[in-house]
Structure 1
Amino acid sequence: MNLIEVLNWSVALVPVLVMVVLFAWLDVFKLMAPRELVGPLIMGGFMALVAWPISGQMLDTLPMGYSFYSRMVAPWIEEALKAIPLMILIAANRIGYKIDAIIFGFAIGAGFSVVENGFYLMRYPDLTMPVWVVRGLGTAVMHGTTTAILAAVAHELGERRLREQGTGLAFNLLWFVPGYLAAGFIHIIFNQFPDRPGLVMLATLVLAPIAIIGLLRFGETEAQLWLVEESEGHRLWLEEWRKGGFPADASGQRIAALAGRATKAESERIREYCMLKTELVLTAEEELLDRDRKLEEGESERLRTGFARLEALQQEIGRTGFAALRRILPFSRNDEWELSELKELLESE
């Protein structure tokens, strides 16, 4: 590979990856380590591999030219494919706040663009540097931005369900429809000016970072308010548990009824499990609010002991008893995500 080819590959692939790292760095909560960005990048790249044969098949079988397909059809197919990894991540409870939804979304779009540009680099090696500059600084950034917008809108529509009590599946395809439409229309507008690639690239370089940074700042404010509200609620629950009673809310009363039907030993295990889990969730929220993503000296051992005891209590309560308890616990899917973040922080110590 000569110097020109190295430069072509660099300008086509590297800028959008740098932007992924930059946006993750701008996250004040530091929710994602660099290694966590690899997954969405790979998922986005895989979707580009899927898109390639779909595009070829449609062009071969449907009566449309490449220009019409590129401008009017491809955007909808590509945005739908990029939405699939987001659906998987939300269904698997790997996205907690809007901030990480946006960053994951941009990373998926970036992965898609890297593989797509790689295809073009191998298929059209004789194209000149300006083409790869436009694709690396224009098309690639557009792909990341549209998926980030899709992610932000889907999270906004689904966040009430994510904050509801209960740890069952939180997923609704309708959450993704408005964001998908927005992403598709932006993509279509981008593709309408094949004769002015430089102008479109410059517009993208100006507007895309403004949009992403604006979304990140909105997500930051929302997450801050969300954390303060939920930590206060969990602190009140914990105080009620520590006083020896049951929380006065509906969930607490259902737990009291379950404990009342159990033996004394079983009732004590239920109380201990609920109190310990509340402590751990509250600790997770306080660590996120602290923002430095570092545990105080001696905190790691206490938390490891707490998580180990939580697992032991689950085993002691038994499969049937825990299934009944889990249905009425006052914890949301987002609380479970916060606990997973705390565990990841422990593992990184």
Structure 2
Amino acid sequence: MFALEVSHWALALVPVLILLAIFVSFDAFKLMSLREILLLLFLGALAAVASYPVSGRLLDTLPIGFSNYSRFYAPWIEEFIKGAVIVTLFRFNRIGFKLDAVLSGFAVGAGFSVLENMIYLVRLSEFGASTWLVRGLGTAVMHGTTLAILAATAHELAERETREAAGEFNFNLLWFVPGYLAAGGLHMLFNQFPDQPLLAMLGAAMFAPLAVVAIFTFGTAEAHSWLEKEKKQHQTEYQALHDGGWPPSSAGQRVATFARSLQPPFDAQVRRYWEVLAWLVVQAEETLLEEAAGDAAFDRAAIDAAFAELAALQASLGDDIFGAVKRMLPFSRNDYWELRELKQRIAKEE
């Protein structure tokens, strides 16, 4: 009896986690640590907890049967609640590349499905292995895939803003609407086969890997192209600053004018802050490119020293001057995300 229960739990919970592990292994840039993956799974589980009372309340108040609810209402409610996690990750700049968005979406969806299936395993323990196979290889994989599509679509629509100067960034919830409609529609399509669960499971099991791998392939090529382009731009900026001049751009002119209006030593500190920051961003981009090539290496001591100098310069400039400079600098939210990735890689080496 115990062995049978263990097999049911394994069928319901393990397949989507194995698939997540496979997708993580496909990431050439090694963007996610185990800690980050566990956090995303936890956030997905929280979303499942949030959706459970909402679903129950609707069933109590609306004149619909469980079948109609699961087919036409649940997909939109669940995708909305799962999607709120992705919106939050975007808002706080925790998603950088498109493949990072895909992994984050699939991990959150996997966490949602794992907790949802655990609830069903406890409440409906009398069901047989076929039920838990459908839940584990069909429903769970569907939850991860729909949210991965939502996240990737939002990333595509937000890309222009996230790659422009962070001081001009404008967050827009409309980025998430097309992906939400696609996720809700796919979820609803999956739920249209209550009498043919094996068909729905096979559909999800075949569609999910193809969809995620396709986005991965596109996202990897896109990330590599952007990194090469931005690294050249940041190297040019760094070299101009290192040589004692200012980058020949509109941002360079604005910052130079502002720096000249300041009293010593703040004028020199503004230039130095930009120089150190540009150097660190180049190191972050080179590290990601080297990681994709399989030979990542970095000078930890030099990078640690640069981060320390950056913090000291920020403190010396003060809140008002630093705030003005940061708004004028041409670094994007994506650049700052790359810096966070570099810090995390340095921390792993400790």
Match of 1:61 in 2: 61
Q: Which residue of 2 aligns with 1:258?
A: 258
Find the counterpart in structure 2 of residue 302 from structure 1.
302
Q: Would the aligned equivalents of 1:168 and 1:333 in 2 still touch at CA under 8 Å?
A: no
Amino acid of the residue matched to residue 131 of structure 1?
A: T
Deviation at 1:325, TM superposition (A): 0.8
- Structure 1 match to 2:91: 91
1:140 aligns with 2:140: yes
1:76 and 2:114 are equivalent in the alignment: no
Q: Distance in 2 between matches of 1:125 and 1:58?
A: 24
The alpha-carbon deviation at position 117 of structure 1 amounts to 0.5
CA contact (8 A) 2:161 2:169 kept: no
Task: Determine if contact 2:109/2:147 at 8 Å carries over to the other structure.
Answer: yes
Letter in 2 for 1:13: L
Give the share of equivalent positions with the same residue, in percent. 48
Q: What SS is found at the alignment partner of 1:177?
A: helix
Q: CA deviation at 1:18?
A: 1.1
- In structure 2, distance between residues paired with 1:289 and 1:166: 23
SS in 2 for 1:318: helix
| 2:228 alignment counterpart | 228
Question: 1:131 & 1:248 partners in 2: Cα distance?
Answer: 64
Instruction: Answer with 260-269 or 111-120: which moved more.
Output: 260-269
CA deviation after TM superposition for structure 1 residue 84, in Å: 0.6
* Equivalent residue, structure 2, for 1:281: 281
CA distance in 2, matches of 1:275, 1:5: 61
> Residue deviations 1:256-280, cap 9 Å, x none?
1111111232111111111010000
- Give CA deviations for 1:152-200 in whole Å, capped at 9, x if unaligned: 0000000110011025765211000000000111011101111111122
Residue in structure 2 matched with residue 187 of structure 1 by the alignment: 187
Aligned 1:93-242 pairs, distance under 5 A: 93-167=93-167, 170-242=170-242
Give, as a single letter, the amino acid of the residue that structure 2 aligns with 1:164. Answer: E
Displacement of 1:243 after TM fit? 2.1
Question: C-alpha displacement at 1:295, in angstroms?
Answer: 2.8
**Partners of 1:301 and 1:239 in 2: CA distance:** 21
- Give the letter aligned to residue 24 of structure 1: V
Letter in 2 for 1:187: H
Matched, 1:334 2:334: yes
CA distance in 2, matches of 1:170, 1:70: 36
Quick one: which amino acid aligns to residue 246 of structure 2?
A: F
TM-score for the superposition, normalised by structure 1 = 0.97
Provide the secondary structure at the position in 1 that maps to 2:177. helix
Matching residue of 1:46? 46
1:13, 1:114 within 8 Å by CA — same for their partners in 2?
yes
For 1:281 and 1:167, the matched residues in 2 are separated by 17
Partner of 1:249: 249
* One-letter identity of the residue aligned with 1:175: W
Count matched residues. Answer: 347
Superposed CA RMSD in Å reads 1.2
Question: Residue type matched to 1:208 in 2?
Answer: A
5+ residue gaps, structure 2, are none
Q: Point out where structure 1 has 5 or more consecutive residues left out of the alignment.
A: none
- In 2: Cα distance, 1:29 partner to 1:324 partner: 33
C-alpha distance in 1 between matches for 2:111 and 2:187: 16
8 A contact 1:293–1:345 mirrored in 2: no
Q: Which amino acid in structure 2 is aligned with residue 201 of structure 1?
A: M
Amino acid at match of 1:132: W
Contact 2:162 2:169 in 1 (8 A): no
State the TM-score, normalized to the length of structure 2.
Answer: 0.97
The alpha carbon displacement at 1:327 in A equals 1.1
Distance 1:104 1:147 in 2: 9
Deviation sequence 1:183-238 (CA, Å, 0-9, x none): 11101110111111112211211111011000111100110111111111101111
| 2:153–2:179 Cα contact (<8 Å) kept | yes
Equivalent AA in structure 2 for residue 101 of structure 1: A
SS of 2:166 mapped into structure 1: coil
Distance of 2:254 and 2:247 partners within structure 1: 10
Task: List, as ranges, runs of 4+ consecutive aligned residues in structure 1 with deviation greater than 3 Å.
Answer: 167-170
